[in-house]
Every structure is written in structure tokens, then in C-alpha cells.
Amino acid sequence: MPIYEYRCPHCGKEFEKLVPMNTDPRNVECPHCGQKGVEKKMSLFGMGGNPLGGFAVSQGSSCGTGGST
């Protein structure tokens, strides 16, 4: 189950919650005020893949390397 970020329109608090992927935000309850009908926020996600604990680094050439042409 993924963690989603929500904002409650009733009390204005933002929170994260672990919910099934297809959960309707109208059925998610705010942990601060107890009201249902929260708004799902857009959020970033992270992808790891390095077994040594770091993040995978792309070897693409989308940025300059500082060398001369």
C-alpha cells in the first residue's frame, strides 16, 4: 500500500496516510478533525534501487559535463 498526502478542507491540516491505491479520497478520514472528504495532494515519489543504500544515478547526457567541445 502506498502512502498518500492529503489536505483536509474542513480543518486545513495536511497529513500522510497509508491507504490502498484505489481508495476514494471522499472516504478518507482526517486524523485531526475526524471529517471525511479530504483532498489528495500531488506529491513526488522516490525510486531507489542501489542495494548499497544510495540512489540509482542515470548515466544520460542531459547535462553538460564542463568539458570542452
Taking the chain (69 residues) in runs of 10, the rounded mean pLDDT of each run is 92 94 92 95 68 57 55
pLDDT of residue 33: 97
pLDDT of residue 22: 87
Contact 4, 27 (CB under 8 A): no
Q: Is the pTM of this model over 0.85?
A: no
- 3-state class percentages of the chain: helix first, strand second, coil last, to nearest 5: 5, 20, 75
- What burial letters (b/e) apply to 16-33, b meaning 16+ CB within 10 Å? ebebeeeeebeebebeee
